[in-house]
Chain A
Amino acid sequence: MSDMTMEQRLALNHYDVDTEAHIKIKPDVCRECDLRPCLYVCPAECFKFKEGKISFSYEGCLECGSCRISCEREAVEWSYPRAGFGISYEYG
């Protein structure tokens, strides 16, 4: 079994993707951060660091809360997706 990419992994799952993000980040705060724990703790790699900026894409979020707990600067405005949206596990 060869390694899967994150895209391949997340494609295994069923999501009902909302049109609006349930998690938002504060770019001004993120810009000041050099630790960037979100890059390591997000199991779905929703956080990316490109050209000096953190970006977040909510579509593949597994709703675990790791980013919420790990961000010391409280730059992650965390909530669950709206009812009926987000990850829907078939096995769990």
Chain B
Amino acid sequence: MGLNDPQWGNKNSGGPPDLEEVMRNINKKIQSMFGGSGGGSSNQSGGTAGGGLGGAGLIVVIVALIWIGSGFYIVDASQRGVVLRFGKQVEVTEAGPRWHLPYPIETVEVVNLSQVRTVEVGYRENVKNKMLKESLMLTDDENIIDIQFAVQYFLKDPGEYLFNNRSPDENVRQSAETAIREVVGRSKMDFVLYEGREQVAAATTKLMQDILDKYKSGIVVSKVTMQNAQPPEQVQAAFDDAVKAGQDRERQKNEGQAYANDVVPKAKGAAARLMQEADGYKQSVIANAEGDASRFKQILVEYEKAPSVTRERMYIDMMQQILTSSSKVLIDQKTGNGSLLYLPLDKLIQSTNPTPLSESVPVTQAAKVAEQGLAPISEFAQPRTTGLGRDREAR
């Protein structure tokens, strides 16, 4: 056995750096032991054959130190350490460097407590990657809908989490599946699809928590997030169409409203125009009447001063005005000798009609037509009489 060889101890002095302190102690002890065997003073063994026993003691000490050192562990801020003494939970340690009685007396299990964990139900990683087996479910009105959601949870009690269930994380998925189906099964399809998503998520969270608490799983469900709630692909088109129909309805209503907004103001405008026109008519009629009445009254005053003269004058004025502006034929019936006077009235009218204000009108052979002025009339003062048996005044 070369155990008491000084080289052995020296070789060990370059041991693991994390045990520096320990090694220094060991070195000190080695030196004091060798000093003891050389100088005759030993505080360790004190035996006469100290060399052999001292070597064995040294090993024991080293082994013991390593053994004790194996009880050190570090708990991160997000973690908790659960210490088991002979398999029984004795304490839960907080963050920091910790030490437990070394194996086999105590063991430690470090659990990540505050980290938020996620379980996806109805899909994996991407919402498009559906798990139809998980996502399809029946509603209260016996329709089938397709739901994808994620559950976020964390641990509240590391002891419960570790010791009460064989597969605690699987519990979350199972409770999620059963809870959502129970909640959806109680709800109508439209509620789940449209207005009730939040309520469904909240009810699922609560139910899941009840189930997980029943299993004492040490898990807290923080949130159920609905990724997607929709009708199955087979009927998607019909649902889209129904949504479109809703839009169509709105559109039609708006179109109707647009028509109304066009027609009613226009009618109001037309009504206002009618009123204005009526008012205008009224004003004008009254004004005309006033004018006419006033004019008549004024003339009347003068007429009453000299009735016969005024009357004659007015008559002649009128005749002049009439004869000036109209075509006329002057026939002297006294010279009539019974011969027939041919008067082509239709031609006269025809010739004047197209150009009512024209200066010259062709003169027929049978009758001369004077256009205007009194001068021409004098020409016809003695018209050629071809004989017309009757005295005629035509209008």
A and B interact physically: no
